[in-house]
A and B are shown apart, each in its own frame.
Chain A
């Protein structure tokens, strides 16, 4: 689950990370209220609160020097459609903005904590050259990226934080408060990573001011969905307005669904087979509309919900059902298909491939149902048939 910057800052502050919180606004009255809470002397920064990155280059972050300027820029960014390299060409609407005091910067640092799959341990990735895109830096100057693994049982140790701090802020005088403050901030990020079951904690930039303050100027936190059961209070931070409406609807019905931009609706059991089905459609020149895994416990209700979702989507010009029954019985799937097709009229071609447990009974049910369903014997044949059926539509 992705969080907004202002939410991430709240969570980080609670684990001892120094942040500049500012004030959030989601309407014009909110802008006035937010301005009233800020220090009277500028400058300030207006920051779009969207889940996509690349906000700065897309015009979603602006500096304001006077109060009038601040008000004007806040009003301009709130409600704008932000198109960045991470949003796709359609962009995302800015529904919330963060107003915050601007800061003088002497030095910018990058730091993140994420799970290293290969090692099976959390990893700190950091660089003394913050501010820019880390992927770019990793590609051009890999030697400038510092990496430090954390023990999942012990968390970050103070000596690891100190070592990172001295490497990230070299050249500080022996009596400078910066290394200790930076180490403490890193410890706070580690505490946040473990406390919230985060999949990512990222600060870019983490800044050192001319007066030697160390502050997390930006913050990005993503929470691991599988661990949210341990943090019911964090569920309230979910912003469904930032998610794809079709996916939100599917999640409510208990379906594992991801919207894509093609025209062949896919209904499959199992995540791997669902991906492979999309791949085969593409290999044969078609375009999948979605990833949909109905899972091992597919029953009539989930099938009905799945069909309603696909048939209610004007982009869908044909449907491919690909079921390899292991735990799932194909006769029950077939009955689900028949019931659903009767309830929501089947106006597009549908190809059904059933294999595995009770496949023959399932095929017989479909054959005698009187519905315009094309049966297919194999995985390959099924995708060829649906691609052919929707061609030119």
Chain B
């Protein structure tokens, strides 16, 4: 079992320029059912052996795609999300970095009111992967291994670190979701934690947070109230100076509550296994699962 995506997920790729086609190939090589590319003016051509359409509606009609991976540049990314939703795509993964916050604010409001069944992941995220079945995103597929741990993270390379460690510890992963590093995200920890709790194969959850905002606190409260599976957490940015944006648009320390130290203490106070050393995430999960 897994969450959101599996071997039956049919994926199209919006934006098949240099980055889009490179990762379309990477996903296809991994074994993902890549059924279409979408880019205006490129309809009728093929990219990496996959047919390309002018619009998402055309692509969905012809291929029955039910998930989308977006590489459309930032100025058009929010529109691409809405185009996918409007064409009936249920899982939209937006990899694009640098989407204006107001665009996301508006897109989220529209998704909520007009397309409530659509799940948006990202933007500014590495994507989602169910090892051995479906990879939608830019993560290196080969470090993953089918297994027992669900991973949720705001960061890309730090997720790879947690994947690498849980693979090395022989635990493997059920599904890994990079939710993205922006202030406004399509899916938050809160949207995804219930899915991991309900997934019979997920035995433990790794949550990787960052400075800024209070998403980790909301996750901890939800975990305490509704979840039985153990959670291991790390929060990046203890050394971050106040008021500086640390690469990710969402990673800015504002008040005293959103520092990494405060978040780690808060997570531990809820009974979550909070680690302060990011190289010990895998070891902590192994310990928690008694392996």
Contact = CB atoms under 8 A, between A and B. Distances in A.
Interface in B194-236: 208, 210-215, 218, 234, 236
Contacts of A324: 157, 160-161, 164
A135 B255 contact: yes
Contacts of B153: 272
Contacts of A151: 109
B84 interface: no
A197 interface: yes
Given A199-B101, A226-B100, A357 B181 contact: no
Say whether chain A's binding surface is mostly helix, strand, loop, or mixed: mixed
B95 to A, nearest CB: 10
A283 to B, nearest CB: 6
Contacts of A355: 164
Contact of B248 (A135, A194, A271, A325): A271
A291 B247 contact: yes
B158 A194 contact: no
Nearest to B156: A270
Interface string A87-120: 0000000000000000000000000000101101
Interface string A239-257: 0000000000000000010
A280 B237 CA distance: 10
B-side interface size class = 35 or more
A230 B100 contact: yes
Nearest to A287: B239
Contacts of A318: none
B11 interface: no
B276 A283 contact: yes
Contacts of B104: 120
Contacts of B138: 296, 326-327
A103 B260 CA distance: 43
A391 interface: no
B247 A275 contact: yes
B7 interface: no
A380 B236 CA distance: 15
Interface residues of A, number: 52
B101 A279 contact: no
Interface string B118-161: 00000000100000000000111001000000000111111111
A197 B100 contact: yes
B239 A356 contact: no
B98 interface: yes
Contacts of B75: 229-230
Contacts of A327: 138, 140
A127 interface: no
A152 B155 CA distance: 27
Contacts of B280: 380
B100 A224 contact: yes
B160 A278 contact: no
A272 to B, nearest CB: 2
Interface string A348-369: 0000000111000000000000
Contacts of A224: 100-102
A203 B284 CA distance: 48
B184 A117 contact: yes
A258 B240 CA distance: 9
A276 B255 contact: no
A63 to B, nearest CB: 29
B279 interface: yes
Given A117-B183, A282-B239, A326-B138, A270 B101 contact: no
Given A224-B100, A272-B208, A356-B143, A122 B105 contact: yes
- Ranked nearest first, the 8 interchain pairs of A and B with the lowest CB-CB distance are A272-B155, A271-B247, A270-B157, A272-B158, A380-B279, A227-B100, A273-B157, A152-B105
Interface of B: 74-75, 98-106, 108-110, 126, 138-140, 143, 153-161, 164, 181, 183-184, 208, 210-215, 218, 234, 236-241, 243-251, 255, 260, 276-280
15 contacts: A86-B243, A117-B214, A194-B102, A197-B100, A197-B102, A229-B74, A260-B239, A271-B248, A273-B156, A279-B239, A281-B239, A283-B238, A324-B160, A325-B140, A379-B161
Interface of A: 86, 115, 117-118, 120-122, 135, 151-153, 194, 197, 199, 224-227, 229-230, 256, 258, 260, 268-276, 278-283, 288, 291, 293, 296, 324-327, 355-357, 378-380
